[in-house]
Amino acid sequence: MFNNFSNTSQSRVANSFVSQAGVTYDQGLRNYMINVYNNMAIALVISGLVSLFVANSPSLMQMFFATPLKWLVLFAPIAFVFFFSAKIQKLSASQAKNYLWVFAGIMGLSLAPIFVIYTGASIARIFFISASTFGAASLYGYTTKKDLTGMGSFLFMGLIGIILASLVNLFLQSSAMQFAISIIGVFIFIGLTAYDTQRIKNIYFQFAGNAEAVAKAAAIGALSLYMDFINLFMMMIQLFAERR
C-alpha cells in the first residue's frame, strides 16, 4: 500500500512538474513572439518618421530623388539585405537589432516619395488595410497545424519573379505590367507572412533556453516580417492609393 501511495505521489509530482514546465515553455514562446512583433513595430515607426521627415523637406527630396543619388536610394535596401545576411552569423543579438534599425531608416528614406505622390488619407487607409491583412495572415501562420514549409520554395520563386519584373518595369514603365506585379505581389506577400510567422515560431524551439540566441532570432524574425509588411503595403499602395 505504501509503495502504491509513494508511486502515486511521485506520479503526481512528475505530472505537476511537466505541466509547470509546459506553461513556462509556452510563456517563453509568447515572450519571444511579442519581442518579434515589438521589434517589427519599432522598425515601422522608424521608417515612417524618416519617410515623413524627408518628404516634408524639399531640399532633401531634391537631393535624394532628383539626382543620380536616387539609384543609390533605390537599391540600398536590397544591398543592405545581402550585407545583413552575410554578417548575421557573426552578430550579437544587440548588433542584429541595431542593424534592423539602420535598415528601417534606409527603407524609410526610399519610401519618402509615396507621401508626395499619394494623398495622406489614402496612405493611412491602405496602411490599416495592410495591417489587418498582415495580422490575419500572421495569425494563421502562428496557429495553423498545417506545415507551410512546402510553400517556401514556391513563394521564394514568386518573390524573385516579382523583383526581376519590377526591375524590368523601371525601364518599360508599363502600367499594365505594374498592375499585374502588384496583384500577384499581394498574394505572394500574404503567403510569405504566414510562412515566415510559422518559420519564426519554429525557430524558437531550436534555441529555447539560450537567451542570446532567442533574442537574436527575434531581431532576425522581425526583419523578415517587417519586409513582408512593407512589401504588402507597397503593393496595395500601387493598386489602390489616390494620387495627389
Question: Is pLDDT at 244 greater than 90 in this prediction?
Answer: no
Mean pLDDT across 36-65: 96
* Chain centroid offset of residue 2 CA: 58
* Domain count within the chain: 1
Task: Measure Cα distances from 102 to 42, 97, 99, 225 in Å.
Answer: 12, 9, 5, 16
Q: From CA 41, how far away is CA 99, in angstroms rounded?
A: 15
- Over 50: is that where the pLDDT of 11 sits? no
Q: What is residue 171's predicted lDDT score, i.e. its pLDDT?
A: 86
Mean pLDDT of 176-188: 94
Q: What is the pLDDT of residue 43?
A: 97
At 18, is the pLDDT very low, low, confident or very high (cuts 50, 70, 90)?
very low
Asked which of 75-84, 131-140, 174-183 is least confident by mean pLDDT, the reply is 75-84
Question: Can you read off the three cell numbers belonging to residue 37?
Answer: 512583433
| Contact status, residue 32 vs residue 214, Cβ threshold 8 Å | yes
Largest CA distance in the chain: 89
Domain span at 96 = 2-240
Tell me what pLDDT residue 8 has. Answer: 39
Residue 110 or 7, more confident: 110
Torsion angles phi and psi, residue 162, rounded to 5: -65, -45
The model's pTM is 0.86
- At residue 241, φ and ψ (nearest 5 deg) are -70, 150
Checking if the pLDDT of 17 tops 60, the result is: no
Measured distance CA(11)–CA(202) in Å, rounded: 30
